[in-house]
Homo-oligomer: A and B are copies of this chain.
Amino acid sequence: MSVQKPSLPKGTRDFGPIQMARRNFILDTIKDTFKIFGFQQLETPAMENLSTLTGKYGDEGDQLLFKILNSGDFLKNVNAEDLQLGTGTVLPKVSEKGLRYDLTVPFARYVVMNRNDITFPFKRFQIQPVWRADRPQRGRYREFYQCDADVVGTDSLVCELEILLMIKRVFVNLGITDYSIKINNRKILTGISEVIGEKGREGDLCVAIDKLDKIGWEKVQEELVQRNFGQNAIKQLEPVIDLKKSNGEKLEFLKTFLAASEIGIKGLEELGEVFNLLQAYGENESNIDFDVVLARGLSYYTGAIFEVKVNNVSIGSVSGGGRYDNLTGVFGLEGVSGVGFSFGVDRLYDVMEELGIFPVESLDQTKVLITHFDKNGFEYGLKVLNALRNNGVSSELYPEMAKIKKQFTYADKKEIPFVIILGDNEINEGSISLKNLKTGVQESMLLDELIKRFV
């Protein structure tokens, strides 16, 4: 067998111990919140039939699907003529499965296949990797995790409330304080295009105003002109763009502005009700901003729209979602509406790294290394180890007879915060010496005291 220098496929990553501990901190925080809110976990296979995947993500998405070669003699249905006709002809003959591209289509497939067994409203969350044959670049990978939560089978605005509450809870528990949850409603955008005399053109409108943050109102106006919005319409839009008020004041202003649009008023009522529910729950509006220009892939959403940004970091949005009307229509099941959102785990990781707020003590890793000078210390150490683990303390005994310096280096490199030293004195006294590697403080104590220290 020839010896090779191994490498990773481009756009993919290993997650080593430190990265995993940090990722788990984020994912466990999110999972705990989902569970507290009654969401149940779903996992679907990495592979789906290509018939399930293709046509769901547009032409570009179809190109980015990773396809799996049929096993066995994959060429058995391919002839020279097919080869001449090219990949479009050959592909369906050599591949019938692809890798999961997102978590939404597999969820829709699951709901359709299990509709008779599912209890609706169905609150599901799903945290799994997805794969896209995108050109890899900084922050863009060919394998990355998605983390979705959806409720399907109810129009209740309690779902929208709970999305706000879950996001707030996750951010508190992650230690991120300076962030905004932007919320809007598709119906408000529809209403705005109605009242400015451009009915049905909320798509174009949103593409343009979505860039307000980046390019400013002047340039947005130019873009609206290019997209054939009338000068009058643009002028009417101005007060909406300028809306720098509290959530309640914005709602008040728009009640007048949208008075002529039934759907617009409906959107305002929905949004107002979400704020009412928030108050009834006993939670305040801090970090929640009604953003009239928030659009976010508008074609998909029919009600609430969410987006979360962390302030003062270089990373864009870290979470988003909204309400949709028809999750499963493409698989023949009509009338399954819902609301969902997702956390960008890689982005949250980058945010927390940029802010330097990963809490060392929360990372699950060895808390204590037991070191020893000789066979006596080693055997005494085994008993100490047993006691620590029985009390749930992650701990290790350095497994070999080695110089004490080597044992300490192991603790250092593995970022183990405490070392126990077992010399003859300790063995004779039935005590232990505990050294805090950060402060350098060393203390002598009995085993019982040690246990109390860590439990």
Contact = CB atoms under 8 A, between A and B. Distances in A.
Interface of A: 1, 3-9, 12-17, 20-21, 24, 35-38, 40-49, 51-52, 55, 63-64, 66-69, 71-75, 78-80, 83, 86-87, 90-91, 94-97, 99, 109-110, 112-114, 117, 119, 121, 123-124, 129, 131, 133, 142-143, 151, 154-156, 158-159, 169, 277, 280-283, 329-332, 364-366, 379, 382-383, 385-386, 389, 392-397, 399-400, 410, 413-414
Given A15-B43, A24-B41, 14 more contacts: A3-B332, A5-B332, A9-B45, A9-B96, A14-B45, A17-B42, A21-B41, A36-B392, A46-B46, A69-B94, A121-B400, A151-B399, A281-B383, A282-B383
Given A399-B154, A413-B119, A45 B386 contact: no
Nearest to A112: B6
Nearest to A73: B87
27 contacts: A1-B330, A4-B332, A6-B109, A6-B112, A8-B113, A9-B45, A13-B45, A15-B43, A16-B117, A17-B42, A20-B40, A35-B365, A36-B392, A36-B394, A37-B389, A37-B396, A45-B143, A69-B95, A74-B87, A75-B87, A80-B80, A119-B414, A121-B400, A151-B399, A154-B400, A281-B385, A281-B386
A155 B400 CA distance: 8
Contacts of A16: 42, 110, 114, 117
State how many copies of this chain the complex holds: 2
Given A74-B87, A154-B399, A394-B36, A45 B389 contact: no
A282 B91 CA distance: 62
A142 to B, nearest CB: 8
